């Protein structure tokens, strides 16, 4: 299918200094939990994006010296020539598809506790390192600054040797020295690197100019800069110094990559910001420089992209998350296949697993992180190995993805769903406050399945074992999900809690089913992800007095991983939800809910007519066991929450895996591993 001519503008080349990007799609640097720890996985993941049409494919941040050591985080590293080969592998993967490879060398300043290197951290001024480690960074003297400039330059030269086409000088997210030096709250220096704005940007200017002098004839040099920190006068503001800095350095780099800091402001989830939320902050930049400008905003709509270019907001469409959810987004626009785009839902599960130092995963794209180790391609899947049929029971994220992927393999697929709706938990949860974008998990799959003649869908079909067997399918996947439990069992409680077996006790499933809940209500969150906060918000919006009790010291504590915890807590407080942290549940009775301090054991009573339990879930797996025990000829599997209650991302992955593995015998360790190489010069001391 040919693309509509209005999208042609997105496929115009853009010059970045001496190199030319083939179109306007720019995958900005993003962490991925692979980096130097899983370098083949990282390189293959980047290569797939190049194949998907991104004209520029960037690394994650690459730390450049032992004084910038953030061991524990799984990022890139370029300390010496030893690090060149793995980065060269990424460049090769990117070049294979005609894209440009960009590197982001970084000195983390006070973000680097130097746990591995044991060096004293360096910073603009004396200051504790980020977090709560008992470590301080010391103020850099003139020699330190000269050293830093040399390390940066050495990294740039090594990047060229590795094969990179573009180097990005990094002053965004507060993660790099050059950016940290700009901020008066950090920079207390009295020399030519402190005081006036000109002095505070000296380091940034120097590293850009030095990179241009060294490699500017063959490599593009990008400035990546956060024009605002969303913290008012205490930080960078786009109408003040943010603008002045771009004015002062306007023509120095070959391209400006602009955003807002810190990372949680740049990568806001869909619950807290819409597509394009950064535009008010960055749209001035193009008026100030003649150099091309790239910016991000979780853009997935090609019409929006066209208008951004036409209206002079940016020259290239920057993306991290949309390129993760759909590495083939540019190709699909180029080929006129807009409805095939798998749109990012803005959940930040990708960020979460990067934080957990594990290969990133994605709710929408189950192949993310599996490109090399499992050989999973986001757009290609092996054809079926036999003329067989598949029955999938339950059309939540696991069942929908299983049906889609098995259908793509060419199997005859039947998808049976008990309710009148497709989407399972995704359909139900996307009706809760702030989660509407999650419905994209259903929408993408339902549309794709509708195009397939070999996938048949039955709604209103609650199957029991005998009926399921009547289909005569060769394979049955039970994807019947899980239900929240009422009895309080979970992380903090493994014995019955008095009062939970009576009336007035509810679960999130009851809320989603529209149960009548009377206030005041206590939401007990022993789950720590989004559900506790979201149902509290929903009940508050329904006009009830709500108290959220949680054993942890903050609400929704796992959401630190998705960069949302502080926003959830602030939102609940602003809505008037009472928060009781560090308390477990001791009982529920006519007087209300008895809670117990997790430290002192002291009890108190919170007035409540109803109790909403957000603790853990029980798989709905009786059908699976009925089928297994019936001993029919079909191979029976369980997938998704029915197999193990977890994230939506896990359910989609399980559905995909089921379909990939049909007709195969997976190894006991079902993927390739990257084993640390033993040093050849090992000797005992």
Report d(CA 237, CA 383) in Å as an integer. 54
- Tell me: does residue 652 bind ligand SF4 (CB under 6 A): no
Q: Does 432 bind ligand ADP (CB under 6 A)?
A: no
Q: How would DSSP label each residue in 482-508? A: EEE-SS--SSS--S--TTTTSTTEE-H
For residue 357, give both structure tokens.
Answer: 């130092």
Cα separation, 370 vs 543, whole angstroms: 45
Neighbours of 247 (CB within 10 A): 13
What are the residue numbers of the active site?
Answer: 31, 170, 173, 266
Binding mask 599-638 for ligand ADP (x = CB under 6 A): ---------------------x--x---------------
Least distance CB 342 / ligand SF4 (angstroms): 8
CB of 656 to ligand ADP, least distance (A): 12
Instruction: Return the range that interacts with ligand ADP (CB under 6 A); candidates 48-56, 57-65, 237-245, 415-423.
Output: 415-423
Whether residue 262 is preceded by a cis peptide bond, meaning omega within 30 degrees of 0, is yes
Q: Rule CB under 6 A: is residue 508 a binding residue for ligand ADP?
A: no
Residue-level length of the chain:
685
- 619: β partners: 482
- Determine, following the binding rule CB under 6 A, whether residue 350 of this chain makes contact with ligand SF4: yes
CA gap 32, 40 in Å, rounded:
13
The one of ligand SF4, ligand ADP, none whose footprint includes residue 363, by CB under 5 to 8 A per kind, is ligand SF4
The contact pattern for ligand SF4, residues 362-401, with x = CB under 6 A and - = no contact, is xxx-------------------------------------
Q: By CB under 6 A, tell whether 378 contacts ligand ADP.
A: no
Under rule CB under 6 A, residue 415 binds ligand SF4: no
Residue 379 DSSP one-character state = S
- How many residues make contact with ligand ADP (CB under 6 A)? 25
| Candidate segments 269-277, 397-405, 449-457, 569-577, binder of ligand ADP by CB under 6 A | 397-405
508 binds, among ligand SF4, ligand ADP, none (CB under 5 to 8 A by kind): none
x/- map, 280-299, ligand SF4, by CB under 6 A: --------------------
Which CB atom, from 263 or from 524, has the smaller least distance to ligand SF4?
Answer: 263
396 binds ligand ADP (CB under 6 A): yes
178-to-131, 201, 209, 295 alpha-carbon distances in Å? 20, 7, 13, 20
Beta bridge partners, 637, equal: 477
* Contact of residue 436 among ligand ADP, ligand SF4, none (CB under 5-8 Å per partner type): none
Task: Sheet containing 592-597: give its strands across.
Answer: 583-589, 592-597, 603-606
For ligand SF4, give the closer residue by CB, 27 or 364: 364
Q: Does 510 bind ligand ADP (CB under 6 A)?
A: no
88 binds, among ligand SF4, ligand ADP, none (CB under 5 to 8 A by kind): none
Cβ(673)–Cβ(512) under 8 Å?
no
DSSP letter for each residue of 552-580: SSSTTGGGGTTT-HHHHHHHHHHHT-EEE
Choose the one of ligand SF4, ligand ADP, none that binds residue 207, judging by a C-beta under 5 to 8 angstroms depending on kind: none
Q: What does the alpha-carbon distance between residue 19 and residue 680 come to, in Å, rounded to a whole number?
A: 39
Binding ligand ADP (rule: CB under 6 A), the pick from 292, 297, 399, 508 is 399
Q: Which of 201, 344, 539, 577 binds ligand SF4 (CB under 6 A)?
A: 344
**How near is the Cβ of 65 to ligand SF4 at its closest, in Å?**
30
Q: Is residue 29 at the binding interface for ligand SF4, with CB under 6 A as the rule? A: no
Among 397, 407, 532, 587, binds ligand ADP (CB under 6 A): 397
What is the distance between the alpha carbons of residues 230 and 265, in angstroms, rounded to a whole number? 8
Q: Checking phi first, is residue 552 left (phi over 0); if not, alpha (psi -120 to 50) or beta? A: beta
Residue 388: name its binding partner from ligand ADP, ligand SF4, none (Cβ under 5 to 8 Å by kind).
none
Choice from 425, 485, 486, 657 touching ligand ADP (CB under 6 A): 425
Element (H, E) at 49: helix 39-51
C-alpha 19/C-alpha 319 separation (Å) is 20
Q: 678: how many CB neighbours lie within 10 A of its CB?
A: 6
- Separation of first and last alpha carbons in the chain: 66
Q: Would you count residue 329 as binding ligand SF4 (CB under 6 A)?
A: no
CA 112 to chain CA mean position, Å: 22
Write down the least CB distance from residue 544 to ligand ADP, Å: 26
Does 140 bind ligand ADP (CB under 6 A)? Our answer is: no
Structure tokens at 445: 């799959």
At its nearest, how many Å lie between ligand ADP and the CB of residue 495?
Answer: 27
Q: Among residues 417 and 525, whose Cβ is nearest to ligand ADP? A: 417
In order, the DSSP letters of 288-348 are H-SS-EEE-S----HHHHHHHHHTTS-SEEEESHHHHH-TTHHHHHHTT-GGG--------
Backbone angles phi, psi at 633, to 5 degrees: -85, -15
127-128, strands of its sheet edge to edge: 122-123, 136-139, 127-128
Query: CB of residue 513 vs ligand ADP: minimum separation in angstroms?
Result: 12
Q: Which does 16 bind (CB under 5 to 8 A by kind): ligand ADP, ligand SF4, none?
A: none
When binding is defined by CB under 6 A, the residue of 325, 500, 563, 608 that contacts ligand SF4 is 325
3-state SS assignment for residue 512: helix
| CB 615 within 8 Å of CB 490 | yes
Residue 348 contact among ligand ADP, ligand SF4, none, beta carbon within 5 to 8 Å by kind: ligand SF4
Contact set with ligand ADP (CB under 6 A): 393-399, 416-419, 424-425, 461-463, 479-481, 620, 623, 640-642, 651
Contact set with ligand SF4 (CB under 6 A): 321, 324-325, 344-350, 362-364
């Amino acid at each position: 299918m040919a693309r509509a001519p209005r999208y042609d503008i997105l496929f115009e080349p853009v010059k970045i200094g001496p190199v030319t990007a083939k179109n306007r799609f720019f995958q900005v640097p993003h962490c991925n939990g692979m980096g130097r720890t899983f370098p083949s996985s990282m390189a293959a993941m980047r290569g797939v994006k190049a194949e998907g049409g991104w004209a520029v494919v960037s690394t994650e941040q690459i730390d450049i010296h032992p004084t910038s050591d953030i061991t524990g985080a799984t990022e890139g590293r370029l300390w010496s020539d030893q690090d060149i080969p793995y980065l060269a592998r990424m460049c090769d993967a990117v070049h294979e598809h005609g894209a440009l490879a960009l590197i982001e060398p970084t000195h983390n300043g006070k973000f680097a506790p130097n746990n591995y290197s044991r060096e004293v951290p360096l910073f603009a001024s004396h200051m504790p390192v980020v977090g709560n480690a008992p470590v301080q960074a010391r103020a850099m003297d003139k020699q330190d600054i000269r050293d830093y400039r040399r390390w940066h330059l050495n990294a740039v030269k090594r990047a060229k040797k590795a094969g990179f086409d573009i180097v990005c000088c990094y002053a965004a997210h507060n993660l790099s020295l050059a950016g940290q030096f700009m901020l008066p709250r950090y920079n207390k220096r009295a020399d030519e690197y402190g005081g006036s704005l000109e002095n505070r940007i000296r380091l940034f200017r120097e590293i850009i100019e030095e990179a241009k002098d060294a490699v500017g004839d063959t490599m593009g040099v990008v400035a990546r800069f956060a024009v605002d920190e969303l913290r008012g006068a205490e930080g960078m503001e786009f109408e003040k110094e943010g603008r002045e800095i771009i004015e002062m350095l306007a023509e120095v780099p070959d391209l400006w990559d602009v955003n807002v800091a810190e990372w949680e402001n740049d990568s806001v989830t869909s619950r807290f910001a819409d597509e394009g939320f950064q535009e008010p902050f960055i749209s001035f930049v193009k008026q100030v420089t003649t150099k091309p400008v790239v910016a991000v905003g979780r853009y997935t709509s090609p019409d929006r992209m066209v208008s951004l270019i036409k209206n002079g907001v940016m020259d290239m469409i920057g993306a991290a998350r949309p390129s993760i959810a759909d590495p083939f987004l540019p190709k699909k626009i180029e080929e006129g296949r807009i409805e095939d785009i798998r749109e990012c839902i803005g959940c930040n599960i990708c960020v979460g697993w990067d934080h957990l130092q594990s290969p990133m995963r994605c709710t929408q794209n189950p192949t993310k992180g599996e490109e090399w180790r499992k050989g999973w391609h986001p757009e290609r899947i092996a054809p079926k190995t036999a003329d067989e049929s598949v029955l999938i029971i339950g059309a939540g994220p696991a069942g929908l993805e299983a049906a889609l992927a098995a259908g793509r393999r060419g199997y005859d697929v039947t998808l049976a769903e008990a309710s009148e709706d497709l989407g399972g938990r995704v359909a139900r949860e996307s009706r809760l406050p702030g989660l509407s974008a999650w419905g994209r998990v259903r929408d993408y799959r339902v549309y794709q399945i509708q195009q397939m003649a070999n996938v048949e869908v039955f709604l209103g079909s609650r199957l029991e074992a005998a009926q399921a067997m009547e289909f005569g399918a060769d394979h049955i996947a039970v994807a019947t999900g899980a239900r929240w439990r009422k009895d309080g069992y979970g992380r903090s409680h493994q014995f019955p809690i008095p009062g939970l077996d009576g009336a007035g006790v509810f679960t999130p499933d009851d809320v989603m089913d529209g149960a009548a809940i009377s206030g005041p209500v206590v939401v007990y969150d022993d789950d720590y992800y989004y559900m506790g906060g979201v149902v509290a918000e929903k009940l508050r919006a329904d006009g009830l007095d709500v108290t959220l009790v949680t054993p942890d010291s903050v609400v929704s504590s796992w959401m630190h991983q998705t960069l949302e915890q502080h926003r959830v807590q602030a939102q609940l407080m602003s809505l008037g939800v009472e928060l009781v942290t560090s308390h477990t549940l001791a009982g529920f009775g006519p007087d209300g809910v008895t809670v117990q301090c997790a430290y002192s054991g002291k009890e108190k009573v919170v007035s409540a007519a109803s109790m909403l339990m957000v603790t853990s879930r029980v798989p709905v797996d009786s059908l699976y066991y009925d089928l297994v025990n019936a001993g029919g000829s079909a191979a029976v599997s369980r997938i998704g929450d029915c197999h193990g209650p977890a994230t939506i991302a896990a359910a989609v992955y399980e559905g995909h895996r089921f379909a990939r593995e049909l007709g195969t015998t997976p190894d006991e360790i079902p993927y390739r591993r990257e084993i640390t190489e033993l040093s050849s010069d090992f000797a005992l001391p």
